[in-house]
Amino acid sequence: MILVTGGAGFIGANFVLDWLKQYDEPVINYDKLTYAGNLNNLKDLQQDARHVFVQGDINDGATLSALLDKYQPRAILHFAAESHVDRSILGPAAFVTTNINGTFSLLEATRAYWQNLAEPEKAAFRFLHVSTDEVYGTLSAEDPPFSETTAYAPNSPYSASKAASDHLVRAYHHTYGLPTLTTNCSNNYGAYHFPEKLIPLIITNARAGKDLPVYGDGQQVRDWLYVTDHCAAIRRVLADGRLGETYNVGGWNEQSNLSVVHTLCDLLDQLQPKATGSYRDQIKHVKDRPGHDRRYAIDARKIEKELGWKPAETFETGLRKTVEWYLANDEWVNQVQSGEYLKWVDLQYKNGAEVVA
């Protein structure tokens, strides 16, 4: 079996669901269930004996060690992280606690477990760390995309904490021989995405008749990766990735934030039109956030060349599937848009950001 940390969050839950569609191999799902961890993401697995959920914190080394000893997983996939830049600006301590200290605690528990495995289990074991392209910093319009050899230059508390976790994973491979793999992905989107992030925020706000906030001029560029494509990439890296290596995972879909918002509005105009006008009428440009990186782009040629992975979805097909999912899942949307989320939106987009256009 495999152990997944953060498997009730957006990417982690999609990975667990997708894994159990592909394989019968059981999953131990270890998640703290913070605001972004949601067991409703895993509702389809409630009666599935292959899915064992354990609520816990990756900083709890004793519980991690007990889990590893009990279940003897052949691999650990580490998704658990605080992941929202805006939240890291307002409250960086949680990002240090989870992303740095938590990864350290997990690595220590894993090292002790792995060192006591018998051969060939020790040789077959893998620790796969899921990270972000934001560790590389920002690009100008003329710069080539991030490659696996791009120097780290994180610009937010979030990206700095993820960079630190990447370095810890690398160090545990080179110092202790722990069989690690790291993936650095671009912006994910798809089903079960908590609506603090751009795409689900725009969809849910548009349908509620609220403003659609766009930071600054909206020309910040991101590479967009459909979440099930990301899950497929992780499976390939887990199966055949070279130990100690990093693989960049991207969608080959660079889009400005404003272009993404316009495309979402146009899709909603088609799929759930307003009585009058367009959803574009709700767009409001707000004051840009501090230190906002201008462009991210991923060079994903290494994973394609070595492991044969490339994204199956275009931005157009993936975004349409995403909008259709949100339109069909009002119960999930209503459940996650509760007190904690509403307080956050009020702080970030009403009190914390002034309208500039």
109 within 8 A of 64, measured Cβ to Cβ: yes
pLDDT digits (tens, 9 = 90+) for 205-235: 999 999 999 999 999 999 999 999 999 999 9
pLDDT value of position 91:
93
Per the CB < 8 A criterion, the answer to whether 105 and 4 are in contact is no
pLDDT band, residue 346 (cuts 50/70/90) = low
Please say if 133 is a catalytic residue: yes
Query: CA–CA distance from 305 to each of 147, 301, 336 (Å)?
Result: 13, 6, 39
Question: Is-catalytic flag, 254?
Answer: no
Summarize pLDDT for 89-136 with one digit per residue, the tens: 999 999 999 999 999 999 999 999 999 999 999 999 999 999 999 999
Q: How far is CA 103 from CA 62, 91, 108, 160, 208, in A?
A: 14, 19, 9, 14, 38
Q: Are strands 126-132 and 27-31 parallel, antiparallel or unpaired?
A: unpaired
pLDDT surpasses 60 at 356 = no
Annotated catalytic residue, options 57, 133, 254, 313: 133
pLDDT tens for 165-213 read 999 999 999 999 999 999 999 999 999 998 888 999 999 999 999 999 9
Per annotation, catalytic residue among 57, 82, 134, 313: 134
Amino acid 349: pLDDT: 44
Residue 342 predicted with pLDDT over 80: no
**Residue 83 confidence class, pLDDT cut points 50, 70, 90:** confident
- Token pair listed for 242: 């070279």
Identify whether 330 is a catalytic site residue: no
**2-192+224-253+292-314: which CATH architecture?**
3-Layer(aba) Sandwich (3.40)
